[in-house]
Amino acid sequence: MFTPIQVILLCVLVGVWTWQKYNLQMFYYASVVTMGVLTGLIMGDVQTGMLVGGAMCLMSLGLFGAGGSSVPEYPVGCIAGAAFAIAMGITGQEAVTTAMTIGVPVAALGAQLDVLGKTSGSFFINKMRECSEKKNWKSMGRWMWASQIPFIGLWVLPILLFTTVGSTYVQSVINAIPAWLNSGLNVASGMLPALGFAILLRQLPMKKYGYFILFGFVLSAYLNMSVLAIAMLAVVACAFIFQSKEAQRSNPVAQDAIMTAVDMEDE
């Protein structure tokens, strides 16, 4: 089902993503969609990869590991689901459903693997502390790099097993799923993005900036503007507001007026 080069590239993709997640932390925005596109490139079907990535990205909205908490790892779940759907030759909405069946459990497994990886980190931290007390900076650096092995290995190993010895068994499970359960998965895949949006809206300052939501709804529902066009207008609005606030901060008189207005609101 998977060629050797595909298995290697998928494992490398998971390893690179896991490493940057715990180190650089630069690619969080639209990371699930990006993983879908890259998986599509590896598997030879970018369109299906984008569909799966977009669907799983909607499911992941509003979920983030605040304060070091562990949440489902949707980027890796997207890699597993998209790779399996493309390998089976499935396209369209059926590919999204199949990818959800595989990817969501893999993503949910991420919470447990993340806890396990962080727990293993205590061993390396103690080693680095011992080296620091002895002022052995080279050994401390080596232990620091060695601490990346559990995090990367915990994710690469499941994907490696999934794409080699486990792919046949997974396909058998998919084929054995009854029609009523597939229908339920279709309904769930449609509801979960709405749940993601609801969680995201609860985290946004709706009381202060809720009119932007209404503005976007009018543009979409009554002017038939695409999501990309609305997003570009949102970027323009954000840039304008940011520049206006920066100009106010650079003007002491305007800043005093703002602080006075805020104090009056608090009263």
For 33-66, how does the pLDDT look when each residue is reduced to its tens digit (9 = 90+)? 888 889 889 988 888 888 888 888 877 765 655 5
Q: Rounded to an integer, what distance in angstroms lies between the CA atom of residue 44 and that of residue 231?
A: 29
pLDDT tens readout for residues 235-259: 998 888 888 888 877 765 555 555 5
How large is the angle between the packed helices 137-146 and 148-163, nearest 10 degrees?
A: 30
H helices of 88-226, in order, are: 92-133, 137-146, 148-163, 167-176, 179-203, 206-221
233 has pLDDT over 80: yes
Q: Rounded to an integer, what distance in angstroms lies between the CA atom of residue 201 and that of residue 217?
A: 14
Q: φ and ψ at 2, to 5 degrees?
A: -110, 135
- Token pair recorded at residue 26: 């630069």
Q: Is 54 exposed, middle or buried (0-12, 13-18, 19+ CB in 10 A)?
A: middle
Ramachandran quadrant class, 92 (left: phi over 0; alpha: psi -120 to 50; beta: rest): left
265 has pLDDT over 70: no
Q: Rounded to an integer, what distance in angstroms lies between the CA atom of residue 174 and that of residue 99?
A: 10
- Whether the CA torsion 169, 106, 15, 3 is positive or negative: it is positive
- Token pair recorded at residue 22: 């715990």
What pLDDT shows up at residue 68?
53
- Whether the CA torsion 180, 183, 185, 187 is positive or negative: it is negative
The mean pLDDT value of the chain amounts to 77
CB distance 64 to 40 below 8 Å: no
b/e sequence 86-120, b meaning 16+ C-beta within 10 Å: bbbebeeeebbbbbbbbbbebbebbeebbeebeee
- Token pair recorded at residue 123: 């061993």
What pLDDT shows up at residue 191?
65
The closest of 144, 138, 100, 113 to 126, measured between CA atoms, is 144
32 has pLDDT over 60: yes
Q: Rounded to an integer, what distance in angstroms lies between the CA atom of residue 117 and that of residue 114?
A: 5
- Token pair recorded at residue 226: 């695409």
HSE-CB at 15 with a 13 A cutoff on CA atoms is 13
pLDDT tens readout for residues 112-155: 677 777 777 778 888 888 888 888 888 888 888 888 887 788 77
- Token pair recorded at residue 72: 């489902």
